[in-house]
Amino acid sequence: MTEHQRSNVAFWNELTDIHETSSYYDLDSFMHGRQSLHDIELKELGDVHGKSLLHLQCHFGMDSLSWSRLGASVTGVDFSDKAIRLATRLSSELGLDAKFVQSDIYDLPNLLKGKFDIVFTSYGVLCWLQNLHEWAKVISHFLKNGGTFLIVEEHPLAYILDEKCKPEELRIGYPYFDKTTLSFNSQYSYADSTTEVEQSVHYEWTHTLQEILDAVISAGLAVESFREYPFCMFPKFEWLSKGDDGFWHAPQNSSIAVPLLFSLKASKR
């Protein structure tokens, strides 16, 4: 494991403890039946009953368990050992058909056997991956012929915007084409602005839209749909407000119309 990976795992281990009790994730209502999936992924994948689903970078498994509640046989994967332990406990308490594996994405073919009808990943995953071509190869490795891959993710344009900018003066804060490793020192989690993070240093990478599409296509997957959305999955900017759909939107009277999310669905033939 590299220095960057060790720091990121330690960062997410600490976030898992914070997120377990945060109102952002609202684990209590989830345990009483609330599902955490959004309309985007539900509409893109449709009926998953009876299908096998591999969820990459699943955090502590709420979305994985939601897919299981909809009838899928789910395997969730994350590099955080604390997240996997929590996900495993939640699955056992709920009695769902979901198992969890601790692994770095690139090592997963050495630890997990089998093929899946669906490979799914979403909401804040690509920035933790340095090599998207290797990532896409792993996805192709685990997909059955005829299987479906779906990613719903922060748009590359949204990722490079300065988080402190105002809606009337959007500005670039991070590189788009430059592949430099970005170092951050985050005092708080996106899900909790009151609990300080001790292991605050972590590393991320930007990816262009071309890089994402090229990685998927080069891995032998056929793109079936690509969509862009003018809302975000978390309060990335202070001027966003949460809508009834669970996403964070710009003010209604704002002239801002930039893509903040995208979805990409592909198949293996």
Low-confidence residues in the chain, pLDDT < 50? none
In the chain, what are the domains? Answer: 3-161+179-231+262-268 (3.40.50.150)
Residue 216: in which H helix or E strand, if any? helix 209-218
| Rounded Cα–Cα distance for residues 184 and 127 (Å) | 12
- Find out whether 135 and 164 touch, Cβ atoms under 8 Å: no
Instruction: Classify strands 73-78 and 98-102 as parallel, antiparallel or unpaired.
Output: parallel
Cβ(254)–Cβ(206) below 8 Å: no
Q: Which two tokens stand for residue 251?
A: 């003010």
The SS3 assignment for 8 reads helix
- How far is it, in rounded angstroms, from Cα 86 to Cα 90? 6
**Angle at the Cα of 238 (from 164 to 247), degrees rounded to 5?**
125
C-alpha span between 237 and 127 (Å, rounded): 17
pTM here is 0.95
pLDDT attached to residue 250: 86
pLDDT at 64: 98
Quote the CA–CA distance of 215 and 187 in Å, as a whole number. Answer: 33
- Kindly state the helix (H) or strand (E) to which residue 39 belongs, with its residue range: helix 39-45
Looking at residue 255, what is its pLDDT? 65
pLDDT tens digits, residue range 165-182?
887 788 899 999 988 899
106, 131 in Cβ contact below 8 A? yes
Alpha helix stretches (DSSP H) within 70-179: 81-94, 132-142, 156-160
